[in-house]
Amino acid sequence: MSKQLIIDTATKYIYLSLVVDNKEVESVYQQGDNNHSVTIIPLLDELLQKANLSLQELDEVIVGIGPGSYTGVRIGVTVAKMIGYLNQIRVRTISSLALIASASDQRYVIPYVDARRGNAFVTCLKQENNMLSFVTEESLENLEQYLKQFDFEYELIEEGKPNVKKILASNLLEDVGDIHELKPNYLRITEAERNKNGN
C-alpha cells in the first residue's frame, strides 16, 4: 500500500491530500486568511486521524513549490521538508501553478497567482488525454499584457482543487535528491538583491 501526502500553501488556499494506492482518501482545500502557518498542522493532524494514518507511515510527500506567495509557499515547503527529513522518505515537487491548472478541463489553461499591482505569477499549460504539460515557462508578468499573446481559447484560472489523478499521472513531478537542498521556487531574487545588482 502506498501512502502519499500532497501539500500546497503557495496561494490563498491551503491544500492537503492523503492518497492511498493512488486514491485520494482524505483532503482539504480551503481558503485561508494569511494563516496557513496556524492551520496547516491542525488540519494535517485531523486528516491523518480521519484516515487512521500517522506521519511515520507515509511513503512519499509531494509539495507545491510555488511560484506564489513567498511566505505562504515557505510554510508548505518547510512542513514537507521536515516530514521528508524525519522519516527519510521520498519528496517530489510540483509547480503550484500546475496544481491549480489540474482543476480545469479545458485544453489550454492559464493558472495564475496574484502578485499585486496587476502582476501575477503565471504560465500556460495544455492537456491532451488528461496529460498536463507546460506551453510556456512560469513567469512574473503584468497579467493583462501577458494574456495578449494567446490567440487560442483558454481558461484563466486562479483557484481550484487540484485533481490528484492528473497530477500523479503527469510527468511534472520532480524528485528532490538531497532533502537538505529542498527550497521553494520563488522565480525572482529578492528586491534587496535586485537593487544591489543595479537592476
Partner 1 sequence: MYVLGVETSCDETSVSVTKDGKEVLSNVVLSQIDIHKEYGGVVPEIASREHIKGITYVFDQAMKDAKIEYKDLDLIAVTQGPGLIGSLLIGVNAAKVISLNYHIPIIGVHHITGHIYASNIEHDFEFPLIALVVSGGHTELILMKEHFSFEKLGETQDDAVGEAYDKVARVLGLPYPGGPVVDRLAKQGVEEYQFPRPMIDSDDFNFSFSGLKSHVINLNHNMQQRNEEVHVENFCRSFQEAVTDVLVAKTIKAKDHYQVKQIVVAGGVAANSGLRQKMKERITDIPVYFPSMKYCTDNAAMISVAGYYKYQKEQKYDDFMLNGSGRLDINEGE
- Phi, psi dihedrals of residue 29, rounded to the nearest 5°: -140, 100
* 63 interacts with partner 1 by CB under 8 A: no
Shortest separation between residue 92's beta carbon and partner 1, angstroms: 16
Asked if 42 and 65 touch (Cβ cutoff 8 Å), the reply is: no
CA dihedral (66, 72, 74, 80) positive or negative: negative
Residue 148 near residue 54 (C-beta atoms within 8 A): no
Q: Is 41 exposed, middle or buried (0-12, 13-18, 19+ CB in 10 A)?
A: exposed
Euclidean distance between CA atoms 15 and 8, whole angstroms? 5
Interface with partner 1, residue 57, by CB under 8 A: no
Pick the stretch among 38-46, 103-111, 136-144, 156-164 that binds partner 1 (CB under 8 A): 38-46
Q: Does 56 bind partner 1 (CB under 8 A)?
A: yes
Q: Which is nearer to partner 1, 47 or 124 (CB)?
A: 47
Site membership for partner 1, residue 75 (CB under 8 A): yes
User: Is residue 61 involved in binding partner 1 (CB under 8 A)?
Assistant: no
78 near partner 1, judged by CB under 8 A: yes
* Closer residue to partner 1, CB minimum distance, 70 or 134: 70
| Sign of the alpha-carbon dihedral angle for 112, 114, 116, 117 | positive
Q: What b/e readout covers 130-158, taking b as 16+ CB neighbours within 10 angstroms?
A: eebeeeeebeebebeebbeeeeeebebbb
Q: Which of 30, 139, 145, 190 binds partner 1 (CB under 8 A)?
A: 190
Q: Among all chains, which residue has been given the C-alpha cell 492551520?
A: 39
The reply to whether 41 sits near partner 1 by the rule CB under 8 A is yes
* 179 lies in the binding site for partner 1 (CB under 8 A): yes
Closest distance between partner 1 and the C-beta of residue 50, in Å? 15
> Contact positions toward partner 1, by CB under 8 A?
35, 37-38, 40-42, 44-45, 55-56, 70-71, 74-75, 77-79, 81-83, 85-87, 179-180, 182-184, 186, 190-193, 196
